[in-house]
Copies of this chain bind each other. A is one copy, B any other.
Amino acid sequence: MSDGASPLESVFTYAAPALKFGRGAATEVGYDVRGWGARRALVVTDPDVAAAGHAETVADSLRAHGIEVVVYDRARVEPTDASLIDAVDFARAESGRAGIDAVVAVGGGSSIDTGKAVALLLTNPGDLMDYINAPVGKARAPERPVLPLAAVPTTTGTGSESTTICVLDVLSLKVKTGISHPALRPRLAVVDPSLSATQPAGVIAAAGMDIACHALESYTARWFADQPAKTAEQRVPYCGSNPISDVWSERALGLLAGAFRAAVRREPGDPAAPADPAAADAMALAATFAGLGFGNAGVHVPHANAYPIAGRVRDFRPADYPGQEPMVPHGMAVGLTAPEAFRFTFDAAPQRHLRAARLLAGATDASAAADGPDLLPTVLVDLMRDIGLPNGLAAVGYGAGDVDDLVAGALQQQRLLATAPKDVTAEDLAGVVGASLELW
Residue ranges of A at the interface with B (Cβ–Cβ < 8 Å): 9-16, 18-25, 28, 30-32, 37, 145, 231-233, 243-244, 247-248, 251, 285, 289
How far, in angstroms, from A235 to B21 measured CA to CA in the complex? 13
Secondary structure call for the A interface: mixed
State which of B11, B32, B233, B251 has its C-beta within 8 Å of the C-beta of A21.
B11
Lowest 6 CB-CB distances: which A-B pairs, in order?
A31-B232, A11-B22, A28-B232, A15-B18, A14-B19, A10-B22
Write out the residue numbers on chain B whose beta carbons fall within 8 Å of the beta carbon of A16.
Answer: 16
Closest B residue, CB atoms, query A192: B11
Number of copies of this chain that the complex holds: 2
Write out the residue numbers on chain B whose beta carbons fall within 8 Å of the beta carbon of A232.
Answer: 28, 30-32
Asked if B13 contacts A19 (CB within 8 A), the reply is yes
Asked if B18 contacts A13 (CB within 8 A), the reply is yes
How far, in angstroms, from A18 to B251 measured CA to CA in the complex? 21
Closest B residue, CB atoms, query A22: B11
Write out the residue numbers on chain B whose beta carbons fall within 8 Å of the beta carbon of A18.
Answer: 13-15
Write out the residue numbers on chain B whose beta carbons fall within 8 Å of the beta carbon of A289.
Answer: 247
Known: A10-B23, A28-B231. 12 other contacts (CB 8 A): A10-B24, A11-B21, A11-B23, A12-B20, A13-B19, A13-B21, A14-B19, A16-B16, A21-B243, A21-B244, A31-B232, A243-B285
Write out the residue numbers on chain B whose beta carbons fall within 8 Å of the beta carbon of A243.
Answer: 21, 285
Closest B residue, CB atoms, query A194: B10
**Nearest CB of chain B from residue A33's CB, rounded to whole Å:** 11
Write out the residue numbers on chain B whose beta carbons fall within 8 Å of the beta carbon of A244.
Answer: 19, 21
Closest B residue, CB atoms, query A32: B232
Closest B residue, CB atoms, query A23: B10
**Nearest CB of chain B from residue A7's CB, rounded to whole Å:** 10
**Nearest CB of chain B from residue A1's CB, rounded to whole Å:** 19
**Nearest CB of chain B from residue A244's CB, rounded to whole Å:** 7
Write out the residue numbers on chain B whose beta carbons fall within 8 Å of the beta carbon of A12.
Answer: 20-22
- List 15 A–B pairs whose Cβ atoms lie within 8 Å, in order of A's numbering: A9-B22, A10-B24, A12-B21, A12-B22, A13-B21, A14-B21, A21-B244, A28-B231, A31-B232, A32-B232, A37-B145, A243-B285, A247-B248, A247-B251, A247-B289
